[in-house]
Structure 1
Amino acid sequence: MRYLVTADSDVGIVKKTNQDSICAFHANSPVGEIVMAIVCDGMGGLAKGELASATVVRAFSNWFQTKLKYELVKLDMQVIAGKWELMLKELNIKIMSYGKQYQTSLGTTFTGILIIGDAYTAVHVGDTRLYYIGAEMQQLTEDHTVVAQKIRRGEITQDQAETDHQRNVLTQCIGASPHIIPQILFGTVSDGTYLLCSDGFRHKISALEIQRAFQKNMLSTPSQMHAQAKKMILTVKQRQERDNISALLIRADHF
C-alpha cells in the first residue's frame, strides 16, 4: 500500500484556545509504509483541555519516535494495540491525578490509527471519530456518549440524537473517568480515504458532504488533500460551528 497524509486543525470562530491536539507521522520501513494519525479533543476550563489533549499526543508521538522500531522486529498488531490501551490507562491516571492536585477538571478524547503495510489497528475513547470513505462512508469507531447509548438501546433515533440535549455528554474520556475501556479495532486497509476528526468538524456538515469531499479521486496530491480539508473546515465555520475543528486524512492506494 501507498499512503498520502495531511492534517489540519482550526480554533474556530468562538474559542480563544484550540483544545484539539493532533499528530500525523508517515515513514518508510522494511515491512512497508507506516502511518500514525491521532486526534484528541480536550475539555476543561481555561487551557486545561489543551493540556490534557497535548499530554496524550506528546506521549504517543514519543512512542512512535522511540519505541515503534522495536515492535517491527517481531510485528504483532494485537501486541501494539494492547500497549496503546495500557498507555491510555496510564495517561488517564496521570491526568486525573493532576486534576485532583490542582482541583480542576480536565480530560480528552482519543482516536488513533496505526497502519503498517496493509494492516491497521485503531484505538478509541470518546466522540472523536474514525471513518473509512470508499464507495460509501463507514464510521469505524463507536461514540462513547449518552446519546449513542440511547441509540444502541433503541430509545431514540439518529435524527432525534442530533438535537438531544445530551448529545455531547461523554460516557468516558481520558483524565475524567475512573476507568476507561478503549474500543480496539483491527483490519486490512482498503483503497480509499481514512478520516479522523473531532466532533467540531462533523456537526455542521452531512455525511454525504464529507463523503463527496474526500473521495479518493478528489485527493490526488497532498496539496489537494490539504485544500479539501481547509475547504470543509471553512464551510463548518461559515455554518457557525462553535467548537474547535480538526481533520486528518489518509489516502490509501494499492500499487
Structure 2
Amino acid sequence: MKAFSITDIGEKRRINQDYVFCETNPIGNLPNLFIVADGMGGHKAGDYASRFCVEFFTQFIKESNITSPIALMEEAIRATNEALYTKSKQQEELEGMGTTFVVATICGKEMYVANIGDSRLYVIGKEIRQITEDHSLVQAMVKTGELNRDEARVHPNKNIITRALGVNEKAQPDFFEVELAEGDIVLMCSDGLTNMLEDEYIEKIIRENADDPKTAAETLVKTANQYGGRDNIAVIVIKV
C-alpha cells in the first residue's frame, strides 16, 4: 500500500480549514488510518474544529480496546463529536463551529468507511465510484428529483451541509464496508476539489498517475487551483 496526503489553502481563502491524517502503519487496533476534515465556522473556528477532531479521534483510536473497525470508528466519532460540541459551548469564539469528517481504514481486502458532511471517498477501479453520500442540501434535492447532478454542481446553496461533527449533541455518520481489488485506488477529498473538477477529470488525473499517489494528489490540487481554487483543498490518494 502506498499513500500520500496534501492540503492547500486554494486561491481565494485566507485560512486553511482543511485537515488530513494519513498513516499506513497501525494506529491502535486499526492497521492504518486515513482522515479528511473540512472545518466550518467564523474566524479560526473552522480551522480549530477540523484539527481538534482529527487529533481527538486519532488519540481515542490509540487508547481504545475495541477491536471491531466499525464499532471502534463509531465510538470514536461519538466521543469526538461530544468533545467538540462541548468546546463550542464553552468558548464564545468557537460557537457554531463544526467539521465534515470522512475516515477510512483498510483491513486486507475490506475497507471500512465512516462519513459525516460532504467530504468524499471514491474508489477508482474499473470505473470511478463515489462511496460516500454528501450530507448536503443540494444532495437532498437531487434525491427527491428537484435537481439533477449538473444543476447541483452550480447551485448557489451547494455548500450548505445538513450534517457535521460538533454542531449537535449527537452525530449522525454513515458507515460503509467496501471490498477492494488489487490495484484499486482510493481517493478521499474535501469539496474544494470536487467543486472545481468533474469526477471524470479526477479519474483521468488519477489513472495517468496510477502508480504514484504523490504526483496524483499534487496534480489534483494544482488543477483545482487552475480552475479557480475557490476553497481549501484536501486530498488523500491511496494505492491498494
TM-score, structure 2 length as denominator?
0.91
Q: Distance in 1 between matches of 2:85 and 2:219?
A: 37
Q: Distance in 2 between matches of 1:157 and 1:177?
A: 29
Q: Distance in 1 between matches of 2:213 and 2:73?
A: 28
Query: Once the two structures are superposed, what CA deviation does each residue of 1:132-185 show, in whole Å capped at 9, x if it has no partner?
Result: 011210000000001111111112111111122221111110111343211001
Q: Give the counterpart letter for 2:17 in structure 1.
A: Q
- Structure 1 alignment gaps of length 5 or more: none
Aligned to 2:48: 51
Instruction: Please provide the CA RMSD for this pair.
Output: 2.0
Q: SS of the residue aligned with 1:34?
A: coil
Q: Does 1:170 align with 2:158?
A: no
**Percent of paired sites with the same residue:** 27
Q: Give the counterpart letter for 1:172 in structure 2.
A: R
Aligned to 1:25: 23
Aligned to 1:231: 219
Q: Distance in 1 between matches of 2:81 and 2:60?
A: 17
Q: Distance in 1 between matches of 2:47 and 2:116?
A: 17
Q: Does 1:15 align with 2:4?
A: no
Aligned to 1:97: 86
Query: Once the two structures are superposed, what CA deviation does each residue of 1:110-137 show, in whole Å capped at 9, x if it has no partner?
Result: 0000112222210000000000011210
Q: Does 1:132 align with 2:130?
A: no
Q: Distance in 1 between matches of 2:61 and 2:213?
A: 24
Q: SS of the residue aligned with 1:95?
A: helix
- Structure 2 alignment gaps of length 5 or more: none
Query: Once the two structures are superposed, what CA deviation does each residue of 1:162-218 show, in whole Å capped at 9, x if it has no partner?
Result: 122221111110111343211001122223100000000111111111111112x62
Aligned to 1:151: 142
Q: Distance in 1 between matches of 2:172 and 2:97?
A: 18
Q: Does 1:35 align with 2:32?
A: yes
Q: Distance in 1 between matches of 2:18 and 2:54?
A: 10
Q: Distance in 1 between matches of 2:151 and 2:210?
A: 33
**Residue 190 of structure 2, aligned match among 195, 198, 204:** 198
Q: Give the counterpart letter for 2:187 in structure 1.
A: L
1:66 is displaced (CA, Å) by: 4.2
Q: Give the counterpart letter for 1:98 in structure 2.
A: K
- Pair 1:61–1:86, CA change in 2 (3 A): closer
1:241 is displaced (CA, Å) by: 2.0
Q: Does 1:60 align with 2:65?
A: no
- Larger Rg belongs to: 1
- Pair 1:242–1:124, CA change in 2 (3 A): same
**Residue 107 of structure 1, aligned match among 83, 88, 98:** 98
Q: SS of the residue aligned with 2:79?
A: helix
* Paired residues of 1:197 and 1:246 also in contact (CA < 8 A): yes
Query: Once the two structures are superposed, what CA deviation does each residue of 1:19-39 show, in whole Å capped at 9, x if it has no partner?
Result: 11100111279x9x9331100
Q: Distance in 1 between matches of 2:148 and 2:123?
A: 23
TM-score, structure 1 length as denominator?
0.86
Q: Give the counterpart letter for 1:199 in structure 2.
A: D
* Paired residues of 1:34 and 1:117 also in contact (CA < 8 A): no
Q: SS of the residue aligned with 1:162?
A: helix
Q: Distance in 2 between matches of 1:141 and 1:95?
A: 23
* Paired residues of 1:203 and 1:241 also in contact (CA < 8 A): no
1:83 is displaced (CA, Å) by: 2.6
Write the mapping of 1:184-195 to structure 2, written as runs, cut at 5 A. Answer: 184-191=175-182, 192-195=184-187
Aligned to 1:122: 113
* Paired residues of 2:61 and 2:76 also in contact (CA < 8 A): no
* Paired residues of 1:14 and 1:242 also in contact (CA < 8 A): yes
